């Protein structure tokens, strides 16, 4: 997909990678990007981006993506304002250690349940029968494949995110609704998520075999743009690390299709 003149909705765009993905889409001349987040200063974040990219329309929609009807409100807002949606990125996420019971369950809800809502809503709102087709990028993590020993729910949420992406992104679903669905799986990136997780920097610094190295934002954004632009990529998980580069994990040969 050519990003120029497209309409995008990005969750978690109030901070970190979500904000970087929104900026990258604007740099590629997207017509409009709606930042969806739970942060309180979202209007200011959107107006800063608007100043940087005056040719595009940047909006903020405040909502908790774990609430399906509130999240649907964001899709309705974008559809009403621009007529359709082309790109959805589900980047909202939270980290949690196993000792924190409530935060761990919250991680399952934000990182998996809300990604399910965002994927399902994206497929409905961009369905080629009612709209123009489109692309969905779900932000998972290498934790989906190489789980840490202290974040069961974080890891499981990311493995679930990859699995639901492979399922939603099957050739059958693509042919049926015209929406490509892919997952991006970066290793550690130095964002506010890292700074706000107590003890994480120390844990990262102690990782063996160069695994403490952060991935550059540039590499993550490049991977993201490739997943959006390359029409050959559907139902894939793209893993990116500083030590092995980029690999594409495909699983679209093995689906069993049940007509529903």
Ligand X SMILES: CCCCC/C=C\C=C\[C@H](O)C/C=C\C/C=C\CCCC(=O)O
Residues labelled as active-site residues: 154
70 binding ligand NAD? (CB under 6 A): no
197 binds ligand NAD (CB under 6 A): no
108, 121, 189, 236: which one contacts ligand NAD (CB under 6 A)?
A: 189
Residues written for the chain:
260
**Residue 97: contacted member of ligand NAD, ligand X, none (CB under 5 to 8 Å, by partner type):** ligand X
Contacts 24+ apart (CB under 8 A), 68-77: 68/117, 71/36, 71/114, 71/117, 71/118, 71/121, 72/117, 72/121, 74/9, 74/11, 74/34, 74/36, 75/9, 75/121, 75/122, 75/125, 77/34
Q: Choose the one of ligand NAD, ligand X, none that binds residue 150, judging by a C-beta under 5 to 8 angstroms depending on kind.
A: ligand X
Whose tokens are 């980290």? That residue is 95
Q: Is the Cα torsion angle 67, 162, 251, 213 positive or negative in sign?
A: positive
CB 197, min distance to ligand X, A: 5
Which regions of 15-161 does DSSP assign to beta strands (E)? 32-37, 57-62, 87-90, 134-139
Q: How far apart are CA 138 and CA 235, in angstroms?
A: 11
Provide the minimum distance between the beta carbon of 103 and ligand X in the complex, in angstroms, as a whole number: 10
DSSP letter for 112, please. Answer: I
Structure token pair of residue 195: 């700074």
Pick the stretch among 48-56, 144-152, 231-239, 250-258 that binds ligand X (CB under 6 A).
Answer: 144-152
Q: Which does 211 bind (CB under 5 to 8 A by kind): ligand X, ligand NAD, none?
A: ligand X
Listed ranges 11-19, 79-87, 162-170, 252-260: which one lies at the site for ligand NAD (CB under 6 A) = 11-19
Interaction of residue 194 with ligand NAD, rule CB under 6 A: yes
Which stretch of DSSP H or E encloses residue 186? strand 179-186
Among 91, 104, 173, 182, binds ligand NAD (CB under 6 A): 91
Per CB under 6 A, the segment of 35-43, 124-132, 172-180, 236-244 that binds ligand NAD is: 35-43
191 interface partner picked from ligand X, ligand NAD, none, CB below 5 to 8 A per type: ligand NAD
Q: Interface with ligand NAD includes 66 (CB under 6 A)?
A: yes
Chain centroid to CA 152:
20
Dist. CA 71–CA 110, nearest whole Å: 12
142 binds ligand X (CB under 6 A): yes
Query: For binding to ligand X (CB under 6 A), which residues are involved?
Result: 95, 97, 141-143, 146, 148, 150-151, 154, 187-188, 193, 197, 200, 207, 211
């Amino acid at each position: 997909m050519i990003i120029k003149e497209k309409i995008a909705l990005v969750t978690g765009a109030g901070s970190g990678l979500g904000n970087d993905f929104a900026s990258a889409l604007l740099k590629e001349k997207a017509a409009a990007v709606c930042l969806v987040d739970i942060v309180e200063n979202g209007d200011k974040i959107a107006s800063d981006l608007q100043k940087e990219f005056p040719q595009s329309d940047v909006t903020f929609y405040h909502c908790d993506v774990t609430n399906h009807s509130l999240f649907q409100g964001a899709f309705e807002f974008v559809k009403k304002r621009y007529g359709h949606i082309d790109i959805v990125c589900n980047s909202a996420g939270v980290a949690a250690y196993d000792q924190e019971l409530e935060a761990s369950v919250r991680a399952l809800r934000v990182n998996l349940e809300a990604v399910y809502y965002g994927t399902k809503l994206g497929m409905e709102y961009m369905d080629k029968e009612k709209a123009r087709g489109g692309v969905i990028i779900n932000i998972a993590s290498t934790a989906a494949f190489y789980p840490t020993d202290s974040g069961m729910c974080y890891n499981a949420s990311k493995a679930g995110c990859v699995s639901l992406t492979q399922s939603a992104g099957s050739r059958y679903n693509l042919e049926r609704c015209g929406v490509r669905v892919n997952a991006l799986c970066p290793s550690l990136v130095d964002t506010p998520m890292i700074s706000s997780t107590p003890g994480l920097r120390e844990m990262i610094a102690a990782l063996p075999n160069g695994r403490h190295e952060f991935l550059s934002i540039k590499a993550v954004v490049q991977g993201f743009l490739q997943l959006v632009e390359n029409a050959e990529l559907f139902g894939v998980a793209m893993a990116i690390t500083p030590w092995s580069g980029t690999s594409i994990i495909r699983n679209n040969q093995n689906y069993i299709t049940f007509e529903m």
